[in-house]
Amino acid sequence: MRSDRPPPLARTDVPDSDVVLSSRVRLARNLTGEPFAHRCDPDRSRSITAMLRGALLQGDLDENLSWIDLETASGHDKQLLVERHLISRHLAESTTPRGVAVADDETMSVMVNEEDHIRMSAIAAGLQPERCLRRLIRLDGELETRLNWAVHERWGYLCACPTNVGTGIRFSAMVHLPALRMTGEFAKVRQAAKDLHLAVRGYYGEGSETAGNFFQISNQRTLGVSEEELLDQFQRVLIPGVVRYERAARDVLMDRERLAVEDRVHRDLAQLRAARLLKADEAMRRLSSVRLGICLGLIDEIPLDTINALFLHTQSAHLRDRVGGTLSPADARAVRAELVRQMLSL
Amino acid sequence: MRSDRPPPLARTDVPDSDVVLSSRVRLARNLTGEPFAHRCDPDRSRSITAMLRGALLQGDLDENLSWIDLETASGHDKQLLVERHLISRHLAESTTPRGVAVADDETMSVMVNEEDHIRMSAIAAGLQPERCLRRLIRLDGELETRLNWAVHERWGYLCACPTNVGTGIRFSAMVHLPALRMTGEFAKVRQAAKDLHLAVRGYYGEGSETAGNFFQISNQRTLGVSEEELLDQFQRVLIPGVVRYERAARDVLMDRERLAVEDRVHRDLAQLRAARLLKADEAMRRLSSVRLGICLGLIDEIPLDTINALFLHTQSAHLRDRVGGTLSPADARAVRAELVRQMLSL
């Protein structure tokens, strides 16, 4: 596992990247004739893992995947995978035989023995869920020629959790909503999302609701609709609606409180460039502010890619990887500050 | 009244300027045969003012003084004089006929009809009370040839307030004690000062105790000791003691928490350079931190003089003077931020 490469989501020459950091689509699939993952004993989990690993690594897939065995991986490597959004915290902390297959450029990962036997997901910068869906459908089709998925003729794909039954699909977008938070309108948007059956989570999932004003927005319906209908609604209606709200809030801020916004974003950038000690949550908060400043045209000397990359590289396991050893919390703050200063230097 | 000149106390090639911003000595004198200032009716106050103005402006004094009539001066001009420490807030707000004579370089001022008929003071950068005292003794001697001071043969010079009776002298030093505040030892020093009959006030006198970690330390005894004894004690014992305590606290900080101190001072400098809106108390607080950083050798690109001058120029009346008109509080914050950014730019 390498930590020094840029994240795939650092690209900014993509649709709606001022608000949408990345799009992600995930398909859940289970093997027919096998118990769901949480009902398997270790031997069964191990044999399922081996079978799926074999199917994923056969040379004739369109994707070129590498396997990481999570039963034997170090805690550090698992943490790195979580920080890079390649596996869930749940899969990292599980003790069952399990693994993940990852594409070279990290835009695709296939978790084995998470909540379902297989959860494959693809990620793309900006608002590009269709691109992700096409890749997954192709991979799913290839895997179907060598594996038998559990499908019910009326309900669709069977999953461990009933909310995933049907298409087994989840579309999600990581959106940056600092202006909606500053104008106090975020609560309204959150309620509207709820009414539209969208789930809103924080950057690190549940319980991180306000970190850096990033939110994962995802569909919750999977039953009784087709993948194409879900895609169309997500891509053309739901996320564009959120994007419009955020842009309107940014316009309001610039009209009514431009100097206060300039003050805020320039101070945050200055502090990131000056700090000698920097905690993770402070880094996230100030980077979020600088990202807004760049999108508003108030800061022009720093590429958005640099900020997007810093969200990744300032996380704990990435810092540990950088120094090649353990890091006390105090040392991590110093290393984080040095990295940020270096990447944002004039 | 001009606001655009540097303050006399911005000089740093003087003794103990790392801790002592300036020294000030004041002599209180009253005319014999006249009621104390607070017992005069306006006509009497006006005639006393005229008499003292005449004595102060006669051409043969060693000091070259200019007169400002405070009965007719604008509120803005009075505020400027207060900010430049040339008159007291008390004299600015009084309604009685009164005035002040000021030396060209603003290192001497003579208030007429403040608490006493005359309060003359001299100021010098760093720890130089002797220099101030020599100037005042010479001026006092010159004035004595043309005015009769109220003197009691046993008690000494008579003053409106009993605490000034005797020599009528007060020595004070403006000291910068950020490290003692950061290490939490300031309370001990304050108690020690009290035990030694020293008064400790804030930058703007009573009620501004913590502004920028600046403190005015002054003697409270004036009766039964000579000017020379007071000078000797103040210059060789009392203030050097405070200076030693502060320097020891700075050493402790640098030994034990160097990175935290670096973090603090560089962040404060960065914010001053980045802010678009800056309140007076925030400016004072961060400038104080930067001053510490310069004295500790952590910041080397900014002269101490610049910081000392900014303490003066970021005050409200000075900002008003700069834009040549009235300033709303919001506009003052913007003008202050712009000035600071400009004076601290790389």
Kindly state the tokens that stand for B29.
Answer: 């004198």
What is the average pLDDT score of chain A?
A: 91
Contact (CB<8Å) B267/A271: yes
- Our CA-based measurement puts residue B315 at a distance from the nearest CA of chain A, in whole angstroms, of 20
Written in H, E and C, the secondary structure of B279-313 is CHHHHHHHHHHHHHHHHCCCCCCCCHHHHHHHHHH
pLDDT for position A222:
72
pLDDT for position B180:
95
Residues A263-322: tens digit of each pLDDT: 999 999 999 999 999 999 999 999 999 999 999 999 999 998 899 899 999 999 999 998
pLDDT for position A61:
86
Residues A18-48: tens digit of each pLDDT: 999 999 999 999 999 999 999 999 999 999 9
Distance CA B55, CA B151 (A): 19
Classify each residue of A228-252 as buried b or exposed e, where b means 16 or more C-beta atoms within 10 Å of its C-beta.
eebbebbbeebbbebbebbbebbee
Q: Taking residues A64-90, what's their average pLDDT?
A: 94
By the 8 A CB rule, do B150 and B157 touch?
yes
Nearest to A277 among B260, B269, B273 (CB): B260
Distance of CA B322 to the CA centre of its chain: 22
Distance CA B346, CA B344 (A): 6
> Which three-class secondary structure state does DSSP give residue B333?
helix
Amino acid at B107: T
Which residues have CB under 8 Å from B237's CB, separation 6+? none
Measured CA to CA in angstroms, residue A82 lies from A78, A278, B181, B243 at distances of 6, 21, 43, 53
pLDDT for position B91:
96
Q: What are phi and psi of B288, to 5 degrees?
A: -60, -45
How buried is B283 (Cβ within 10 angstroms: 0-12 exposed, 13-18 middle, 19+ buried)?
A: buried
Distance CA B193, CA B241 (A): 10
pLDDT for position A225:
83
Q: From the CB of residue A195, how many other CB atoms can be counted at a distance below 10 Å?
A: 8
Kindly state the tokens that stand for B25.
Answer: 């000595």
Kindly state the tokens that stand for A143.
Answer: 């895997």
Cα torsion at B124, B125, B131, B136 (round to 10°)? 10
User: A12 versus A277: which is more confidently predicted?
Assistant: A277
Nearest to B263 among A269, A270, A277 (CB): A277
Contact (CB<8Å) A267/B271: yes
Kindly calculate the radius of gyration of chain A based on its CA atoms and give it in whole angstroms.
Answer: 21
DSSP assignment of B129-174: HHHHHHHHHHHHHHHHTTS-B-EETTTEE--SSGGGTBT-EEEEEE
Q: Taking residues A5-18, what's their average pLDDT?
A: 69
Distance CA B130, CA B144 (A): 21
pLDDT for position B207:
60
Within chain A, residue ranges assigned H as helices are 42-57, 75-83, 89-93, 129-144, 178-182, 186-195, 227-233, 239-256, 258-274, 280-295, 304-313, 316-323, 329-344
The pLDDT profile of chain B, 346 residues, written as one tens digit per residue, is: 556 666 655 556 778 999 999 999 999 999 999 999 999 999 999 999 999 999 999 878 888 999 999 999 999 999 999 999 999 999 999 999 999 999 999 999 999 999 999 999 999 999 999 999 999 999 999 999 999 999 999 889 999 998 888 899 999 999 999 999 999 999 998 898 888 889 998 877 666 666 789 999 998 877 778 889 999 999 999 999 999 999 999 999 999 999 999 999 999 999 999 999 999 999 999 999 999 999 999 999 999 889 989 999 999 999 999 898 889 999 999 999 999 999 998 7
Q: Which residue of B has its CA nearest to A346?
A: B346
Q: Taking residues A322-332, what's their average pLDDT?
A: 90
pLDDT for position B2:
59
Distance CA A324, CA A203 (A): 26
Q: Is A41 left (phi over 0), alpha (psi -120 to 50) or beta?
A: beta
pLDDT confidence band for A9 (50 / 70 / 90) = low
Q: What is the ipTM of this complex?
A: 0.85
User: A240 versus B61: which is more confidently predicted?
Assistant: A240
DSSP assignment of A206-254: TT-TTGGGEEEEEE---SSS-HHHHHHHIIIIIHHHHHHHHHHHHHHHH
Distance CA A274, CA A282 (A): 13
Q: What pTM was computed for the model?
A: 0.88
Kindly state the tokens that stand for B338.
Answer: 């712009």
Which residues have CB under 8 Å from B239's CB, separation 6+? B16, B20, B127, B173, B175, B217
pLDDT at A5 over 80: no
Chain A residues touching residue B270 (CB < 8 angstroms): 267, 270-271, 273-274
Residues A245-265: tens digit of each pLDDT: 999 999 999 999 999 999 999
User: B267 versus A224: which is more confidently predicted?
Assistant: B267
Helices B329-343 and B316-323 pack at an angle, to 10 degrees, of: 80
Q: In which residue are the tokens 């950091």 written?
A: A21
Q: Which of B253, B254, B263 to mutate to test the interface with A (most CBs of A within 10 A)?
A: B263
Across-strand partners of B177?
Answer: none
Q: Pairing mode, if any, of strands A65-69 and B214-219?
A: unpaired
What residue ranges define each of the domains in chain B, with the CATH number in brackets? 8-249 (3.30.590.10), 258-343 (no CATH)
Q: Is A85 left (phi over 0), alpha (psi -120 to 50) or beta?
A: left
Contact (CB<8Å) A259/B266: no
Cα torsion at B301, B305, B309, B310 (round to 10°)? 20
- Our CA-based measurement puts residue B8 at a distance from the nearest CA of chain A, in whole angstroms, of 32
What's the first-to-final CA gap in chain B, in angstroms?
31
What's the first-to-final CA gap in chain A, in angstroms?
31
Q: Which of A265, A271, A272 to mutate to test the interface with B (most CBs of B within 10 A)?
A: A271
Measured CA to CA in angstroms, residue B326 lies from A260, B68, B285, B316, B320 at distances of 21, 22, 25, 10, 6
Classify each residue of A139-167 as buried b or exposed e, where b means 16 or more C-beta atoms within 10 Å of its C-beta.
bbebbeeebebbeeeeebbbbbeeebbbb
Identify the CA nearest to B42 among candidates B112, B97, B93, B90: B97
Contact (CB<8Å) A262/B276: yes
Nearest to B276 among A266, A277, A337 (CB): A266
pLDDT confidence band for A70 (50 / 70 / 90) = very high
pLDDT at A2 over 70: no
User: A11 versus A112: which is more confidently predicted?
Assistant: A112
pLDDT for position A14:
79
Measured CA to CA in angstroms, residue B307 lies from A145, A243, B72, B82, B283 at distances of 74, 45, 33, 19, 11
pLDDT for position A300:
93
pLDDT for position A205:
66
pLDDT at A8 over 60: no
pLDDT confidence band for A160 (50 / 70 / 90) = very high
Contact (CB<8Å) A263/B275: yes
How buried is A13 (Cβ within 10 angstroms: 0-12 exposed, 13-18 middle, 19+ buried)?
A: exposed
Contact (CB<8Å) A270/B266: no
Contact (CB<8Å) B337/A263: yes
By the 8 A CB rule, do B37 and B45 touch?
yes
